């Protein structure tokens, strides 16, 4: 990064990075950069500012009184939902506190899910899919939306629902609607083929089978097949996934987030050759993972300011917590985005204004001419 002349230079900070452990490569251990306005961090700062203003607005806003008639109508609307859903909805109507929204949304979705699938909503991951995992079809989705509109006293356009695929999508969407914020970008779903085409890490050291990436984070799954090369000796006659590999999987998902639009600066993209591991803090393992286990991996960005990106990450197996990393930090750099030029017309292409008389080609009127 170029530094300004001394006469107009902003305060400079020298950042030393300890490279005792490096999973994805190595790089110089000193970065010098200006603390000028950074567009990568500005979006996070703007979001944090919106959160503070929203919280302050709720503090200053007088609580709305609810009449017995209002409570009766709300109770009737949610009569087939849990008592906790009604309580959260009642509190939201009084305070407009968005912290109650997840409980309301999950409670309403649970009302329309088949009984044998409701256990998935007890402690759901944000990447839980509405159709594939919960069996919610388009008609059921409309019923959910109608009840959400009624309970939250809001209006939702059908076109806004087209890109909602997961529980996390629904929660983010409703939160933005209630607070009047811009709607989040659609979640990207990436199968293993696409992941392999994006990531600098490749098999047999790639631990993401499928992934979803949104503007707020990323989720992925990896099934321990038992054929991983390191399980041959970890341990003898007792294959256990190394804790370092769980940390690696979290880091790989953070890399995927960065490469799939996690950093937004006009005309720039993250250069995959510049992403390296820097540090981690607060790493704890809670469960032994063995062949056959399916890891549900999640990361959320905490700070993005080039050249550093800090995430929090976790791994679950089913409903059990397997590992967490309070902070995992990567270093990265940007490169100019490659703009694809439109394809040039083929010089040998047939002039549409010139009649074609070859057998089987189209004549002046567009009809086939037989030999």
Contact status, residue 328 vs residue 313, Cβ threshold 8 Å: yes
Residue range 228-260, pLDDT digits in tens: 999 999 999 999 999 999 999 999 999 999 999
Confidence of residue 64 (pLDDT cuts 50, 70, 90): low
In terms of pLDDT, which residue wins out, 343 or 226? 226
In 270-286, which positions are buried (b, 16+ CB within 10 angstroms) versus exposed (e)?
A: bebebbbbbbbeebebe
Q: DSSP 3-state assignment of 72?
A: helix
Q: Does residue 26 surpass a pLDDT of 50?
A: no
State both tokens at 59. Answer: 């503090």
Domains of the chain, start order: 68-179 (1.10.1200.10), 187-336 (3.10.129.10)
As a whole number, mean pLDDT of residues 91-117 equals 94
| Closest of 260, 247, 105 to residue 189, by C-alpha | 260
Helices 83-95 and 138-152: angle between axes, nearest 10 degrees:
50
Which stretches of the chain are DSSP H helices?
39-60, 68-77, 83-95, 101-112, 138-152, 167-179, 192-198, 243-257
**Residue 60 pLDDT grade (very low, low, confident, very high; cuts 50, 70, 90):** very low
Q: How far is CA 326 from CA 78, 180, 295, 323, in A?
A: 37, 30, 18, 10
pTM of model > 0.95 = no
Handedness of CA 8, 43, 338, 341 (dihedral sign): negative
| pLDDT for the residue 369 | 37
Q: What is the pLDDT of residues 308-355, one digit of tens each?
A: 999 999 999 988 999 999 999 999 999 998 766 666 665 555 555 555
């Amino acid at each position: 990064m170029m530094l300004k002349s001394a006469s107009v230079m902003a305060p400079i900070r020298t950042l030393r990075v300890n490279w005792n452990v490096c999973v994805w490569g190595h790089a110089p251990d000193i970065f010098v950069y200006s603390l000028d306005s950074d567009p990568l961090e500005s979006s996070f700062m703007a979001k944090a500012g919106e959160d503070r203003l929203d919280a302050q607005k709720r503090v200053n806003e007088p609580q709305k009184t609810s009449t017995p008639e209002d409570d009766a109508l709300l109770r009737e609307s949610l009569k087939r939902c849990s008592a906790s859903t009604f309580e959260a909805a009642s509190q939201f109507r009084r305070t407009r506190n968005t912290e109650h929204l997840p409980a309301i949304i999950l409670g309403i979705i649970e009302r329309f899910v088949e009984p044998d699938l409701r256990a998935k909503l007890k402690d759901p991951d944000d990447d839980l899919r509405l159709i594939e995992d919960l069996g919610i079809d388009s008609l059921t989705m409309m019923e959910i939306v109608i009840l959400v509109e009624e309970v939250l006293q809001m209006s939702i356009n059908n076109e806004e629902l087209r890109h909602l695929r997961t529980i996390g999508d629904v929660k983010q969407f409703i939160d933005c609607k209630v607070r009047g914020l811009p709607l989040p970008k659609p979640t990207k779903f990436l199968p293993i083929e696409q992941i392999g085409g994006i990531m600098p890490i490749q098999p047999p050291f790639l631990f993401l089978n499928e992934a979803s990436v949104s503007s707020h984070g990323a989720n992925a799954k990896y099934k321990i097949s038992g054929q991983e090369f390191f399980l041959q000796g970890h341990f003898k006659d007792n294959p256990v996934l190394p804790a370092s590999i769980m940390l690696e999987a979290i880091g790989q998902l953070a890399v995927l987030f960065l490469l799939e639009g996690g950093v937004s600066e006009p005309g720039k993209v993250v250069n995959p050759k510049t992403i390296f591991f820097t540090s981690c803090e607060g790493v704890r393992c809670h469960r032994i993972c063995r062949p056959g286990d399916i890891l549900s991996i999640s990361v959320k960005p905490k700070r993005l300011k080039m050249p550093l990106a800090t995430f929090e990450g976790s791994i679950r197996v089913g409903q059990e917590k397997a590992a967490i990393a309070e902070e995992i930090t990567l270093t990265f750099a940007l490169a100019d985005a490659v703009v694809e030029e439109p394809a040039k017309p083929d010089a040998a292409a047939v002039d549409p204004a010139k009649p074609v008389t070859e057998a089987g080609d189209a004549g002046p009127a567009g009809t086939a001419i037989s030999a």
